[in-house]
Chains A and B, each alone.
Chain A
Amino acid sequence: MTGHSWLDELLATDPDDAGCEGTFQLLDLYVEAQLSGQDIERRFRGVAAHLRDCNPCREDYAGVLAAVRDTHSS
């Protein structure tokens, strides 16, 4: 990554971004939609935009996804 690309990414914002609270509200639906093969980018545009830019919410998303996969397979 160059300094320029880092800065471009750091300052990238999406007007559709659902925010942390909006994403939390829909996270369970987002995860299940993903696991069932739905087009989550289209159905949950704001959540997908938020998860691209918010590290802690992206980490939570990965955690919920892992938990569902683990418990449903056990």
Chain B
Amino acid sequence: MPAAETTCGEGPSVEAWRRLDSESREWLDGLCSAGSRRDDTLARLHRLLVRVARSEVGRRNSTLRLAGPELDDIAHQAAADALMAIDAKVHGFRGESRFTTWAYKFVIFEVSTKIGRHFWRRNGVSLDQEEWDRLPDRVGLQPHERAEWNDLVAALRRAVDEDLTDHQRRLFVAIILNGVPVDALAMELDTSRNAIYKALFDGRRKLRANLAADGYISDTPSRAS
């Protein structure tokens, strides 16, 4: 009998249970059992998540430039929150991947969130100040390209004024002009990465339509043609 019937609510379906490889089954058995076996499994999973989180923070640190204690702090916070998320959602695990692969996406996501939080401690970026003049440096334009750029950016700026909602404009300014990471912005605005992405997705479509109507770019991305 699947241990999922004990402490994981309805637990993974019987079909999912049958799909599991032996290692994933062992994880689920442990998480869905009670008492010391469950405690031992949670402790083992926590150690694994800390290891993965440390490795991930290290992988990203070339751009973060954080010191050792800060890195470790982020890794431990990410592992703790991921463990809670995994424990809360394990009943929904469908056994279509290895349990550890499924678990890793939670801890990697938590690393992103913690790094986003850290951004505001180290950067004094304004959310609303529009840094249009710094855009050529962000884009990496060479000096001889800047004449063409001036026309293009003037058109883009007009399209932003004309077509974006206040919310979309705020997101565009923060992310595109001022370089605020999406996860940092999501935390500051108390929203989600997905909500920001969707709002900007719609905004980007409107901007393309506007600029295409005036002949600045094609109405379909060049990579689609």
Contact = CB atoms under 8 A, between A and B. Distances in A.
B5 interface: no
Instruction: Say what secondary structure dominates the interface of chain B.
Output: helix
B210 to A, nearest CB: 10
Given A28-B102, A67-B104, A19 B112 contact: no
Contacts of A71: 48, 51-52, 100
B221 A9 contact: yes
Given A28-B101, A64-B108, A67-B108, 19 more contacts: A3-B136, A3-B139, A4-B148, A7-B217, A8-B217, A11-B205, A12-B221, A17-B201, A21-B192, A27-B105, A31-B97, A56-B181, A56-B183, A63-B56, A63-B59, A63-B112, A66-B55, A67-B56, A71-B52
B204 A7 contact: no
Contacts, number: 122
A49 B111 CA distance: 23
B219 to A, nearest CB: 10
B105 A24 contact: yes
Interface residues of B, number: 52
Interface of B: 48, 51-52, 55-56, 59-60, 96-98, 100-102, 104-105, 107-109, 111-112, 136, 139-141, 145, 148-149, 152-153, 156, 176, 181-183, 192-194, 197-198, 201, 204-205, 207-208, 211, 216-218, 221-224
